[in-house]
């Protein structure tokens, strides 16, 4: 198993097409179970450097029904990764371990998880000065925690929480 490293790439407009392709495949596989589907994460924000991993969020009515999604999603190469620490979402990945190409987050539609991910994304899309600030933070953390993706992610959390709070005030 390859240890994942933190490597940020310049924004790539192709990421939107990759999301669209993934969205279509997911809808074909489990469309009757989906209440919403969104491109989230840094690849969804024009101009932002990012790890080249497309984050897709699928909203469903009841998270306890996730088990029926595992088989059809595996047929389109999404591997379910049990993460007991994630209470409000389920996680699937696509691509080689440590070099994934897509992360699929399944949560209940309109849950806190759903709403906050969209608040964060939409706030950054509307506030280019915050995108620049976030980019600087990510670059600093990517250098400091290149071989520790978990800590890199944890260290971004205060910025993310701050943006979500600002977005709630708007």
CB atoms within 10 A of CB 3: 9
- For the chain, how many residues are written? 170
Residue 9 lies in a domain: no
Residue 39 lies in a domain: yes
Residue 84 confidence (pLDDT): 84
For residue 11, pLDDT over 80 is answered with yes
13 confidence band (pLDDT: 50, 70, 90): very high
Residue 101 confidence (pLDDT): 92
For residue 4, pLDDT over 80 is answered with no
Q: Tell me which residue range forms the domain holding 152.
A: 14-169
Domains of the chain: total: 1
pTM above 0.85, yes or no: yes
**pLDDT tens by residue, 77-134:** 999 999 988 889 999 999 877 667 999 999 999 999 999 999 999 999 999 999 999 9
**pLDDT tens by residue, 37-69:** 999 999 999 999 999 999 999 999 999 989 999
Residue 121 confidence (pLDDT): 98
Residue 47 lies in a domain: yes
For residue 1, pLDDT over 60 is answered with no
Residue 155 lies in a domain: yes
Residue 3 lies in a domain: no
The torsion of the CA quartet 36, 149, 18, 60, rounded to 10 degrees, works out to -10
Place of tokens 């992360």: 103
Residue 2 lies in a domain: no
| Residue 26 belongs to domain with CATH number | 3.30.460.10
Residue 70 confidence (pLDDT): 97
Residue 145 lies in a domain: yes
Q: Degrees (nearest 5) of the Cα angle 65, 16, 158? A: 70
* Tokens describing residue 45: 């924000």
């Amino acid at each position: 198993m390859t240890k994942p490293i933190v490597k940020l790439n310049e924004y790539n407009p192709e990421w939107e097409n990759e999301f669209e392709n993934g969205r279509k495949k997911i809808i074909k596989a489990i469309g009757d179970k989906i209440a919403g589907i969104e491109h989230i994460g840094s690849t969804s924000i024009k101009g932002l450097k990012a790890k080249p991993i497309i984050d897709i969020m699928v909203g469903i009515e009841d998270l306890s029904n996730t088990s029926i999604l595992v088989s059809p999603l595996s047929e389109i190469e999404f591997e379910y990764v049990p993460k007991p620490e994630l209470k409000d979402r389920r996680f699937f990945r696509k691509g080689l371990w440590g070099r994934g190409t897509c992360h699929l987050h399944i949560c209940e539609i309109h849950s806190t998880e759903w709403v906050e991910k969209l608040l964060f994304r939409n706030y950054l899309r509307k506030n280019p000065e915050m995108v620049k600030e976030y980019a600087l933070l990510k670059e600093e953390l990517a250098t400091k925690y290149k071989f520790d993706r978990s800590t890199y992610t944890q260290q971004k959390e205060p910025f993310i929480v701050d943006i979500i709070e600002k977005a709630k005030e708007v």
